[in-house]
Every structure is written in structure tokens, then in C-alpha cells.
């Protein structure tokens, strides 16, 4: 029989993944073997004749399944970055096996009994902070799934979970069906006035693909957004906007009002069953924000501070629209359109002017230089390790002493088999086992413009900040320095995980940093200061209104999930209107409802979590102020950020880590100061 490379320790430089030697068909048998081995490791813990203690139970549990985790990360990363029909088929087969395995662990009563025994003795155990966090995390992974409940309550929980998963699915199906059924066919070319050529072409192609004459627009973002931003025809903008806002709110078979009410009531019941006051209390227990009260306080404080700026931006925009087109009252369907016009007038900034200063190679080297100046990291391109595609670049990352910090992969260009967007991931986690600090293998994957024979890859400014964003996540992974794998690197609460990525974007707006790498690809000229100023000013354009909008969604989310009596809410639209009462700027549209298509919180995983977008921005603005005060390359501040945030992963409460770095809690004002909205 052929040897399956995945079942052995990799005999490769730095123990890197042997991509070129893996056959896709090795994965399924390797998964099965790894699951079997992981189960045996769990059995060894539960059958241990010694009394349960931290080492033989909690620590053993965290280090179990290492082989399975390694294979999973290789496989699912390939499925995102270089997939094919075989890999997708294997993913379908493997996914249920993996969820069955993880259910087997959470429902393993013998295992929970041992974990609980250790947990109940936690005060006598003399554990360090990281160990205390790990113990808490392991215990909660059982208790939050109902391990402490009696048999009949467990049954009830399973029943609620089953109903919830069906309702969430139905909610999503309705939104999708509503999005797909609406079409706006335009026959008269005059009605396309204002639209860029690309948007017109796409609309013509869409019409043609459905055997229709003219130009077809839908509620899909790539079709909807350009129309709302550029189309001069106000009546048609109104038609499209109202159609979008009325999704799943028409009292027909695809209506989601009842689903919203049922989902919120079941989530509440589930939280009560597990001993929590509301669903939001349940969710926020594992967040930096901690409680619904703190989230609401955060949102309301930010609202109070941002509202004057938002109001004056709104009035300016309305004035601008009145002068330009003599419109009576600014409506929701005017917002993107006039904002874009005003932005063009104020900044006259287009990507083509900026791109020559952002050659991809220069930008990567810029990111490396920033990391060197801040954290003493050295990046050296290497060619002796395997990759899954020729486009993938590989680097050895070392510290000032020359010791290995990480292996770093960068995969920049789009191709068939890679999904859209940009992300950071890892092929091997960091941990300290038996005294050996296993260094991580970190990767960033993007979809940037490919070089041609005559032109190098020149990035838009948005792509530049995307690269720095993902590189910030990568630094969080590379600098990880914890004992336990489940607390390492980016394994932190999700309202904390965007701090390292978002803060790094700030360097893209700083003269001192741009001078290091933003040089014209032909002449070598450094980007002119007036362009930098324009980039900065346009980045915070309408920040007040944007902030108010995000706060309104955050408050709506909390209004559904932090209520301790959701069964008293009968009318979705009335409830929503109440939740929006302090945040609305535009006149309400009676036939529209946000909640019935708010998939983030009713289908996806953002319930009681929508606030985290703004929360993360406040964190990065507040943290970056510290750098600005001391100098953006100040070593003392950078070292504190590395020691207290980047290297610590999820080993302690994020607020504790943050305060240790910053010397105080984050202030919402920092966000508005950065935008120039507070003096």
C-alpha cells in the first residue's frame, strides 16, 4: 500500500506542509485515521485511573487532536485558496464527520465529569493566569452546551437547537428568494444616465443571459450598489431602494416577521435554560464587552458624541442636493448618490492617480519595514519549502537574535479555485509543548491585480489597506507566545480580534510610513503630500453618518436580544421603529423593514455582536492615538503592544491586556477625534 504522507510527521524544512507530495485522495483516509487517533487520546483521558487534575485532564485535552487539527487546517485552507471538484467533494464528506467528532466531545459525560472535578477545585490548584483561563474555557465549552442540565432539560435544549437551526435556514432562504425574484428591467437608455460604463455593460449582460432586451438590475450588491450610487433617475433609485428594504416584509409566503419573533423567543428560552438572563448575556459572556449593559452604554455614549456631526453632515448633504437638483427632501435613496457627488467635488481622488505609487512589491516590503521598525522582525524570502501554487511566496521570519519567529506565506493573486476577498490563516499553530516553543506557519491570501508583461501589480489604495489589515492579523499569529494552542495567536474573543489588523491600517495614512514605500514605480518619486492629505480626508468622509448608521444596527440587534421579555414583542415594525428612534436621519419608509432581512443577526453568527464593528474601530483608534502621541515608530509603545497584546493571544481577559498596554480603558472619543469630528 502506498504510504499516506499525511499520517506521518512531515520530514520537511521547519516541518512545513509537504503540499507537492499530497494527493487530494490522501485526505479522506487521513482524516479518518486522525479522528480515530484523536478519539483514542480522549479515551486515554477519560480512562486514566489517576484522579483528574489540571495536567492529566485540562492540559491533555488541549493538546489532544493535534494531528487532526493540522490536517484540517491544510485541507480547509486548500479548499479556500486552491480548491477543485475533488476537494469540494471531500469537504462534503468530511464536514459531518468533524461535527460528529466535536459533538462526541461536548456530549462526553465521563470527560465532563473529570473537567468539572478539576474546575470545582480551581481555587486550590495554584494555577497561573493562562492555566486559569484555559480551565475556564474548557469548562464553559461543556456547560454552555448544556452539560450541567438534567436529562429532560437536555432534551429540551436539543429540541430548541433543532427548531432554531430550521428557522435560521428558513430566514436565509426567504431573504435569498426575495433578493433573487426582484428584477428591474430598463428599456430606455436615458434611464441609465450617470452610470459608469462597467455597470451598464454588466446590466446588459445580465439581461441577455435571461433572454431579455435592455438592461437588468437586481438587489444583488454588484448590481444594486452602482445603481444607487450613480443613477441620475431618482424615481428608479426609489423603486430599487424600496424593493430592497421590503424584502421578506410583504405578508406573503416569504415573509420573515414570524421567523424573527420565533427566533428571538427561542434564543431567549435557550439562554434561560442555561441559566442566563437573556440571549445577549449568554453571548457576551465570551466577549470583551462582557455584558449587554456595557454594550448599550458603549453604543449610546458613541451615539451622543457622533450625533451632532452626523446631523450637520446630513444637513450639508441635503443643502448640496437641494442646490444641485432642487429636491424637496433628502430620502434614503438619495444618500449614496449625493454623497458620491459631494465626495468627488471635495476630493477629486481616483485610483488611477494613486496606483503608480503602490507597486505590490513595494507595499509588501513596506509592511515588512514597518514590522521591523516596530517589532524587530526580519523577513527573508526562501525557496526551499513547498507551496500549493507557484504564485505563493514564502518567507522565513526571524528576530534580532536570528531565532525563528515564524514561517510566512503570501498568496496575492486571484485564480480559479480561490474564493473572493482577503484573509489570514495558519498552517501550523504556535504552542509550547514539553518545553519546546513550536513556531507557527502563517499565511495571508488576497485577490490583488495581477502583473502583466508590461506592468507590475499596482494596488488601489483600498488594496494597500487590505494588505496591511491582513498583515496585522498575521503579526498576531506570528508573534504568538503562549503555552496552550487553543489560547494562541488570533484565538481571542471576536470583538478583540480586529484590533491588530485594524491598527496596522493606520500606518498607511502616515507620511513617515508612506515615505518608506509609496514610491512611483517608474520614477521612484515619493507620493506627494497633498495626495496623502486627500486620502486621509476622504477616508473619514461622512464618518458621523456612517457611525450613526452602524450604531442604529447595533442598537436594533440589542433590542431583539437583550430583552428579558421578547414574548411581549408582537409587531416587528413597531418594535424596530422604537429601536431606531434616536438614530434616524432620513424619513421612515412605511413599506420597509430592516429586521426581516437582517441576515447578520438572524441567520449568521452576529446576534448580540453587531456592535463589535464599532467596538473594534474604537479600540484601534484609541490604541493608535498612543502611537501618535509617542511617535508612530516609538519602540516603547510598540514593545508594550507586542508584549501585552500581540504575543498574549487569548490567555487573559482582553480588557486586562488592553489596559496593560494602554494604561487605561479605550475611549470612544478616539474614533471621532481621528475623524476630526471632535476637537
**How far apart (Å, rounded) are the C-alpha atoms in residues 544 and 549?**
9
Q: Which residue is nearest to Zn ion (CB)?
A: 501
Distances from the Cα of 353 to the Cα of 47, 339, 459, 473, 492, angstroms: 67, 21, 11, 29, 39
610 with 568: CB under 8 angstroms?
no
**How far apart (Å, rounded) are the C-alpha atoms in residues 109 and 99?**
17
CB of 501 to Zn ion, least distance (A): 4
**How far apart (Å, rounded) are the C-alpha atoms in residues 577 and 572?**
9
**How far apart (Å, rounded) are the C-alpha atoms in residues 489 and 475?**
9
Q: Which residue from 558, 583, 161, 551 is spatially nearest to 566, judged by alpha carbons? A: 558
Q: How far is CA 419 from the centre of its chain?
A: 15
167 with 266: CB under 8 angstroms?
yes
Considering the complex, state which of residue 257 and residue 612 has its C-beta at the smaller distance from Zn ion. Answer: 612
CB of 22 to Zn ion, least distance (A): 28
Neighbours of 86 (CB within 10 A): 13
Sign of CA dihedral 672, 675, 676, 677: negative
199 Cβ contact list (under 8 Å, min separation 6): 226, 227, 230
Considering the complex, state which of residue 19 and residue 613 has its C-beta at the smaller distance from Zn ion. Answer: 613
CB of 672 to Zn ion, least distance (A): 22
**How far apart (Å, rounded) are the C-alpha atoms in residues 633 and 375?**
10
Distances from the Cα of 178 to the Cα of 171, 210, 250, 354, 423, angstroms: 11, 18, 10, 39, 30
Sign of CA dihedral 277, 282, 287, 292: negative
633 Cβ contact list (under 8 Å, min separation 6): 373, 374, 512
Q: Is 256 helix (H, G, I), strand (E, B) or coil?
A: coil
**How far apart (Å, rounded) are the C-alpha atoms in residues 617 and 675?**
11
Contacts by 360-366, CB closer than 8 A, 24 or more apart:
360/412, 360/448, 360/451, 360/456, 360/457, 360/458, 360/459, 361/456, 361/457, 362/517, 362/518, 362/519, 362/521, 363/459, 363/464, 363/467, 363/517, 364/410, 364/467, 365/517, 366/513, 366/516, 366/517, 366/518
Considering the complex, state which of residue 223 and residue 501 has its C-beta at the smaller distance from Zn ion. Answer: 501
CB of 567 to Zn ion, least distance (A): 37
CB of 492 to Zn ion, least distance (A): 12
Q: How far is CA 435 from the centre of its chain?
A: 33
611 with 559: CB under 8 angstroms?
no
End-to-end Cα distance, the chain = 72
CB of 412 to Zn ion, least distance (A): 17
502 Cβ contact list (under 8 Å, min separation 6): 469, 472, 616, 617, 619, 620
**How far apart (Å, rounded) are the C-alpha atoms in residues 230 and 333?**
11
Q: Is 629 a catalytic residue?
A: no
Q: Is 489 helix (H, G, I), strand (E, B) or coil?
A: coil
Residue 652 per-residue DSSP state: S
Residue 588 per-residue DSSP state: P
CB of 422 to Zn ion, least distance (A): 9
CB of 485 to Zn ion, least distance (A): 21
Exposure string (b/e) for 233-264, b if CB count within 10 Å is 16 or more? beebbeebbbbbbbbbbeeeebbbbebbbbbb
Considering the complex, state which of residue 467 and residue 670 has its C-beta at the smaller distance from Zn ion. Answer: 467
CB of 494 to Zn ion, least distance (A): 10
Considering the complex, state which of residue 264 and residue 501 has its C-beta at the smaller distance from Zn ion. Answer: 501
H/E element, 135: helix 129-143
CB of 609 to Zn ion, least distance (A): 14
Cell reading at 335: 444618500
Considering the complex, state which of residue 27 and residue 641 has its C-beta at the smaller distance from Zn ion. Answer: 641
Considering the complex, state which of residue 22 and residue 480 has its C-beta at the smaller distance from Zn ion. Answer: 480
| Residues in contact with Zn ion by the rule CB under 5 A | 501
Exposure string (b/e) for 190-210, b if CB count within 10 Å is 16 or more? ebbebbeeebbebbbebbeee
Considering the complex, state which of residue 334 and residue 411 has its C-beta at the smaller distance from Zn ion. Answer: 411
CB of 550 to Zn ion, least distance (A): 16
Active-site option among 470, 498, 576, 625: 470
Considering the complex, state which of residue 256 and residue 465 has its C-beta at the smaller distance from Zn ion. Answer: 465
Considering the complex, state which of residue 490 and residue 651 has its C-beta at the smaller distance from Zn ion. Answer: 490
Considering the complex, state which of residue 77 and residue 563 has its C-beta at the smaller distance from Zn ion. Answer: 77
CB of 612 to Zn ion, least distance (A): 11
178 with 597: CB under 8 angstroms?
yes
Considering the complex, state which of residue 245 and residue 472 has its C-beta at the smaller distance from Zn ion. Answer: 472
Which residues are known catalytic residues? 470
Amino acid at each position: 500500500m502506498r504510504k499516506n504522507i499525511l499520517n506521518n510527521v512531515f520530514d520537511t524544512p521547519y516541518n512545513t506542509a509537504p503540499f507537492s507530495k499530497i494527493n487530494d485522495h490522501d485526505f479522506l483516509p487521513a482524516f479518518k485515521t486522525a479522528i480515530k487517533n484523536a478519539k483514542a487520546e480522549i479515551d486515554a483521558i477519560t480512562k486514566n485511573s489517576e484522579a483528574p487534575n489540571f495536567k492529566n485532564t485540562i492540559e491533555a485535552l488541549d493538546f489532544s487532536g493535534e494531528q487532526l487539527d493540522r490536517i484540517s487546517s491544510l485541507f480547509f485552507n486548500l479548499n479556500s485558496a486552491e480548491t477543485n471538484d475533488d476537494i469540494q467533494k471531500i469537504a462534503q464528506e468530511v464536514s459531518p464527520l468533524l461535527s460528529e467528532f466535536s459533538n462526541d466531545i461536548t456530549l462526553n459525560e465521563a470527560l465532563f465529569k473529570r473537567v468539572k472535578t478539576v474546575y470545582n477545585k480551581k481555587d486550590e490548584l495554584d494555577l497561573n493566569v493562562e492555566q486559569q483561563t484555559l480551565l475556564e474555557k474548557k469548562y464553559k465549552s461543556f456547560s454552555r452546551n448544556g452539560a450541567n442540565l438534567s436529562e429532560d432539560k437536555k432534551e429540551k435544549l436539543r429540541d430548541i437547537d433543532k427548531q432554531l437551526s430550521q428557522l435560521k435556514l428558513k430566514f436565509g432562504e426567504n431573504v435569498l428568494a426575495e433578493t433573487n425574484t426582484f428584477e428591474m428591467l430598463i428599456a430606455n437608455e436615458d434611464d441609465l444616465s450617470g452610470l459608469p460604463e462597467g455597470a451598464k455593460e454588466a446590466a446588459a449582460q445580465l439581461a441577455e443571459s435571461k433572454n431579455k432586451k435592455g438592461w437588468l438590475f437586481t438587489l444583488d450588491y454588484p448590481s444594486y450598489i452602482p445603481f444607487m450610487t450613480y443613477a441620475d433617475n431618482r424615481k428608479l433609485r426609489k423603486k430599487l431602494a424600496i424593493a430592497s428594504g421590503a424584502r421578506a416584509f410583504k405578508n406573503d409566503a416569504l415573509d420573515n416577521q414570524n421567523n424573527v419573533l420565533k427566533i428571538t423567543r427561542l434564543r431567549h428560552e435557550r439562554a434561560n435554560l442555561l441559566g442566563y438572563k437573556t440571549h445577549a448575556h449568554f453571548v457576551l459572556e465570551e466577549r470583551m464587552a462582557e455584558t449587554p449593559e456595557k454594550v448599550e452604554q458603549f453604543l449610546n455614549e458613541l451615539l451622543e458624541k457622533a450625533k451632532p456631526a452626523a446631523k450637520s453632515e446630513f444637513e450639508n448633504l441635503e443643502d448640496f442636493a437641494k442646490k444641485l437638483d432642487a429636491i424637496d427632501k433628502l430620502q434614503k435613496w438619495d444618500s449614496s448618490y449625493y454623497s458620491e457627488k459631494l465626495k468627488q467635488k471635495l476630493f477629486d481622488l481616483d485610483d488611477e492617480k494613486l496606483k503608480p505609487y503602490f507597486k505590490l512589491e513595494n507595499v509588501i516590503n513596506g509592511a515588512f519595514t514597518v514590522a521591523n521598525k516596530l517589532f524587530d522582525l526580519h523577513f527573508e524570502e526562501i525557496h526551499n519549502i513547498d507551496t500549493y501554487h507557484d504564485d505563493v511566496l514564502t518567507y522565513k521570519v526571524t528576530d534580532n537574535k536570528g531565532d525563528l519567529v515564524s514561517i510566512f506565506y503570501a498568496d496575492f493573486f486571484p485564480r480559479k479555485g480561490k474564493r473572493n476577498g482577503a484573509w489570514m490563516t495558519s498552517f501550523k499553530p504556535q504552542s509550547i509543548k514539553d518545553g519546546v516553543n513550536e513556531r507557527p506557519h502563517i499565511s495571508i491570501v488576497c485577490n490583488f491585480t495581477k502583473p502583466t508583461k508590461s506592468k507590475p501589480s499596482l494596488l488601489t489604495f483600498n488594496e494597500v489597506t487590505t494588505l496591511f489589515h491582513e498583515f496585522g492579523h498575521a503579526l498576531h499569529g506570528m508573534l504568538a507566545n503562549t503555552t496552550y494552542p487553543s489560547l494562541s495567536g488570533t484565538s481571542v474573543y471576536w470583538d478583540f480580534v480586529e484590533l491588530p489588523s485594524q491598527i496596522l491600517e493606520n500606518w498607511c495614512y502616515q507620511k513617515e510610513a508612506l515615505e518608506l514605500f509609496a514610491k512611483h514605480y517608474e520614477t521612484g518619486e515619493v507620493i506627494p503630500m497633498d495626495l496623502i492629505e486627500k486620502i486621509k480626508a476622504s477616508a473619514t468622509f461622512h464618518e458621523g453618518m456612517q457611525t450613526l448608521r452602524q450604531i442604529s444596527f447595533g442598537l436594533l440587534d440589542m433590542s431583539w436580544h437583550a430583552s428579558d421579555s421578547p414574548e411581549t414583542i408582537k409587531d416587528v415594525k413597531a418594535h424596530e421603529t422604537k429601536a431606531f428612534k434616536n438614530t434616524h436621519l432620513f424619513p421612515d419608509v412605511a413599506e420597509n423593514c430592516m429586521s426581516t432581512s437582517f441576515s447578520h443577526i438572524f441567520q449568521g453568527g452576529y446576534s448580540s455582536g453587531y456592535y463589535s464593528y464599532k467596538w473594534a474601530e474604537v479600540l484601534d483608534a484609541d490604541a493608535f492615538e498612543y502611537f501618535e502621541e509617542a511617535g508612530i515608530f516609538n519602540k516603547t509603545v510598540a514593545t508594550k503592544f507586542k508584549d501585552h497584546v500581540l504575543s498574549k493571544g487569548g490567555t487573559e481577559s482582553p480588557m486586562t491586556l488592553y489596559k496593560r498596554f494602554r494604561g487605561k480603558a479605550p475611549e470612544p472619543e478616539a474614533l471621532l477625534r481621528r475623524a476630526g469630528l471632535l476637537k
